[in-house]
Amino acid sequence: HHHHHNFSMQRWLSMHASVLRDPRDRAALRGEDLKSIREKLKHLSSHSGWAVLMVSGGRFSGAIFKVGAEWPLCECTHHKSIARYTTRRKQGGSQAARDSVGGQYTSSAGASIRRHNETKLKEEVLEILTSWSDVLADCQRLFIYAPSLNRHIIFQPSSPIQKNDSRIRSVPLSVSRPTTEEAKRVFYTLA
């Protein structure tokens, strides 16, 4: 049994070597033995949180997980999801993004409601991220799912997370609409 655990641990480590460091020095990782990677993971996880933040289609979902020193001990310490309808049915992209392009939709009643909702969504997301700023500062990894037109909702000028943060990783999975369940699924898939 112990042997089996060792194998799965080894497979787990090699699969997730990528989260330890930038892809840029992935090559350097190949030279490191399992033991040093395991030490690094232990160090990395003993004091670390991972955040999963997702925004698309007028929905935001965020969750912060404490990654325990003993794999796979993880717990979700913070989570929040909000929905504000900002997109036209069957069309991607938010109203504000559409307005900046210009077009015939900008004066409709639906458009102004969506614009109002988008403003509210931005305010609410900023409020959440600001209230989490201490825990976010302690996070080792920030996994962000925000298709291009949604990025401005997370990276607001006064947001505790800015787009040049080296801890940011995009979510390498296909994601259904942002909900707390989905944020947890993303985390457990990546962790």
d(CA 87, CA 113): 10
Catalytic residue among 95, 104, 140, 162: 95
Non-local CB neighbours of 45 within 8 Å, separated by 6+ positions: 67, 68, 69, 71, 140
Handedness of CA 27, 28, 32, 34 (dihedral sign): negative
Catalytic: 95? yes
User: Hunting for tokens 């497979």 — which residue is that?
Assistant: 11
Sheet of strand 59-67: strand arrangement: 74-83, 59-67, 48-56, 139-145, 168-170
Catalytic machinery residues: 95
